[in-house]
Amino acid sequence: MKLHTRFALSGVVILAGAAVFSACGPQAVTVEETQAPESGEADTGTPAPVVDEQPVLEIVGPSESIELTMSELLDLPATEGYAGIKSSTGKITPPIAFKGVALNDLAELVGGVNQSTGFNVVAEDGYSITFSYDQITNGAFIAYDPAVGDELKSPPELTPILAYEMDGNPLDPKADGALRLAIVSAKLNQVTDGHWSVKWVNRLEAKSLGEEWVLKAHGAIKENIDRASIESCGAPQCHGTSWTDDKAQEWVGVPLWLIVGAIDDEITHEGPAFNDELAGENYSIEVIASDGYTVTFDAVRLARNDNIIAAYKVNDNPLTDKYFPLRLVGSDLARNEMVGGIVEVKADLALLPVEEGTAVGEGAAPVADVEGSLAVIGMVDSPVGFTEADLRALFVLQITAEHPKKGPMDYEGVSLNALLDMAGVQGGATTLVITAGDGYAVDVSLDEVRACSDCLVSFTDTTEEFNMILPGMSSEAWVKGVVSLEVK
């Protein structure tokens, strides 16, 4: 294989150093590498993509760069499997067959990656996102059930590839470009977050990385926003914003109001994600650093203000330990407001006035004066709140129940009726309103609940987060992240 090689110029990414916002089909194939046929050997497989002898991909390493034509990519060991995506709005694009070259194999052409480095995948329009060593070598991605969109607790083996073929055909150059990213598995049993599925890829850059991180964001809903989501949102073609300080340092990131917009109500992205009406009530937002230092803002001040930025890089480099992973910067901030080492953002929506039946804040329902992650309120003698420790101190049940969509599954939790008995349901009550932390609410018949011996409030993998298990009832009643049980 002939590789077009040129030495990197001064300033190309150096590996040493420190280190945003995801079915039926053909029979599955095993994710495996296959060598392209030797010259003259018959190829009875799928049609080869049209070969353009101009370079289609540049790979930048620590000391040299290489350029590959499509024919040279086709000469590399191929990896194939199935990939689909889950968008930031929850839309599922079902898995489909892809074929290409694994990122790990491409990395080896310029010396490979290690735990302190990764690959920055760059598209023709400048959009980029960085894949970590663990993602490249071990497939460490969050995966979702392609039928219902739920996160898979035990995802299949995943491999990120630079694909040149989809569903047995070359990529559409207008829709996808010559090359695009796909995260494949052996079967049609997973989709991954859409921001990884970069189209029109023409460049890979080895780069130094810091450790993976997550920004905890709490408001009307709770979100863990990872590095990749911030980077994706911060791309110039998306919502990226920059600010140059008095030392000529350029800070790049995401306006803080967009992060707040992801947690102020159930609309986390697209359209009216930032709730202007709620912001008009002027709730407070806390930005909290790893050492506990906190800066507080009024919502009116932040509303659609692009001059208050959560920055994740400076001068095109990751932040130093002093500010990692995020620093608040911008022309509308005082110096003592430029907090670094940000790990959490809180929107205090719980203090806003609530109309009856409206879900606002982490309590999500008009709760009585009770404490805990789960409240039992309404027509009860003694409104009561429970923490997870309170619930685990009760009689814990383990059952197998038929989920309306997923079939038989095992659950652990406490009896729903036991909790209602502890609160003391009053005479004349007919309805139980089950409300989740994101504001979703559903009414179920209290008679049906009282007749259900296996109805549970179940524990989850997340501390202080509970799901409803209601055998015999519709899937809409199986509320996730329940925070309130209101008897009416």
Q: Are 233 and 128 in contact (CB under 8 A)?
A: no
Looking at 208, 228, 262, the residue that finishes a domain is 208
- Least-confidence region, from 23-27, 108-112, 322-326: 23-27
Domain span including residue 470: 374-487
Q: Is 356 within the bounds of a domain?
A: no
Amino acid 28 reads A
Q: Is 369 within the bounds of a domain?
A: no
Residue 152 shares a structural domain with residue 186: yes
Ramachandran sector of residue 87 (left: φ over 0; alpha: ψ -120 to 50; beta: rest):
beta
pLDDT digits (tens, 9 = 90+) for 335-386: 899 999 999 999 987 544 433 333 333 333 344 467 889 999 999 988 999 9
For residue 26, is the peptide bond before it cis, meaning its omega torsion is within 30 degrees of 0? Answer: no
The alpha carbon torsion through 254, 301, 249, 115 (nearest 10 deg) reads -30
| Distance, CA of 14 to CA of 413 (rounded, Å) | 51
Percent of the chain past pLDDT 70, that is, above it, reads 81
Q: Is 366 within the bounds of a domain?
A: no
Q: Is 360 within the bounds of a domain?
A: no
Q: What is the DSSP letter of 236?
A: T
Residue 182 shares a structural domain with residue 200: yes
Residue 218 shares a structural domain with residue 200: no
| Distance, CA of 122 to CA of 439 (rounded, Å) | 38
Residue 267 shares a structural domain with residue 408: no
Residue 63 shares a structural domain with residue 204: yes
Domain CATH code at residue 115: 3.90.420
Whether 239 shows a pLDDT value over 90: the answer reads no
Amino acid 162 reads L
Q: Are 241 and 254 in contact (CB under 8 A)?
A: yes
Looking at 146, 173, 208, the residue that finishes a domain is 208
User: 91: which residues sit within 8 A by CB, 6+ positions away?
Assistant: none
Residue 59 shares a structural domain with residue 145: yes
Helices (H), 246-325: 256-261, 276-279, 299-302
Predicted pLDDT of residue 366: 40
| Distance, CA of 309 to CA of 252 (rounded, Å) | 8
Q: Is 50 within the bounds of a domain?
A: yes
Structure tokens at 185: 């598995």
Q: Is 278 within the bounds of a domain?
A: yes
Percent of the chain past pLDDT 90, that is, above it, reads 48
Whether 15 shows a pLDDT value over 60: the answer reads no
| Distance, CA of 197 to CA of 171 (rounded, Å) | 14
Predicted pLDDT of residue 130: 83
Predicted pLDDT of residue 407: 81
Residue 125 shares a structural domain with residue 153: yes
Q: Determine the average pLDDT of the residues in 305-314.
A: 92
pLDDT digits (tens, 9 = 90+) for 337-349: 999 999 999 998 7
The number of residues making up the chain comes to: 488
Q: What is the DSSP letter of 151?
A: B
pLDDT digits (tens, 9 = 90+) for 28-55: 344 555 454 444 444 555 555 555 589 9
Residue 177 shares a structural domain with residue 83: yes
Q: Is 198 within the bounds of a domain?
A: yes
Residue 245 shares a structural domain with residue 272: yes
| Distance, CA of 163 to CA of 102 (rounded, Å) | 8
Whether 71 shows a pLDDT value over 80: the answer reads yes
Q: Determine the average pLDDT of the residues in 460-480.
A: 90
Residue 204 shares a structural domain with residue 224: no
Looking at 208, 238, 257, the residue that finishes a domain is 208
Residue 389 shares a structural domain with residue 476: yes
Domain count, the chain: 3
Domain CATH code at residue 303: 3.90.420.10
Q: Is 136 within the bounds of a domain?
A: yes
| Distance, CA of 186 to CA of 83 (rounded, Å) | 9
Residue 87 shares a structural domain with residue 112: yes
pTM, 2 dp: 0.48
